[in-house]
Every structure is written in C-alpha cells, then in structure tokens.
C-alpha cells in the first residue's frame, strides 16, 4: 500500500463515529468535534 493510501486510512480511523457515518470531515476536537458540538449527545471516537 502506498504512503498516500495509508494517510487516508489514518485520517478516517481518527474520525468520530458521527462523522464517519455522515461522511463529514471531523475536526478531531475533544471532548466534542465541531459537528457534534450543537447536539447534546456524546461524541464517540472508536
């Protein structure tokens, strides 16, 4: 696998569950990313 492909997999691996599901670009902020901040639920990173 090329290093470019590995970088894409690494970026996807550290997105929160909500951003993965909705295919958003995750800001990877803690405790909540920018996509999850407006919502009262948790921002989970799996």
The predicted model scores a pTM of: 0.66
Residue 19 burial by Cβ neighbours in a 10 Å radius (0-12, 13-18, 19+):
buried
- Single out the residue of 17, 12, 16, 46 nearest to residue 29, CA to CA: 16
The pLDDT tens digits for 9-43 are 455 568 999 999 999 999 999 999 999 999 999 99
Structural domains of the chain sorted by starting position, each given as residue range(s) with its CATH number in brackets: 1-46 (4.10.240.10)
């Amino acid at each position: 696998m090329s290093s470019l492909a590995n970088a894409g997999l690494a970026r996807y691996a550290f997105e929160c569950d909500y951003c993965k599901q909705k295919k958003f670009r995750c800001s990877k902020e803690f405790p909540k990313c920018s996509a999850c901040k407006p919502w009262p639920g948790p921002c989970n990173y799996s």
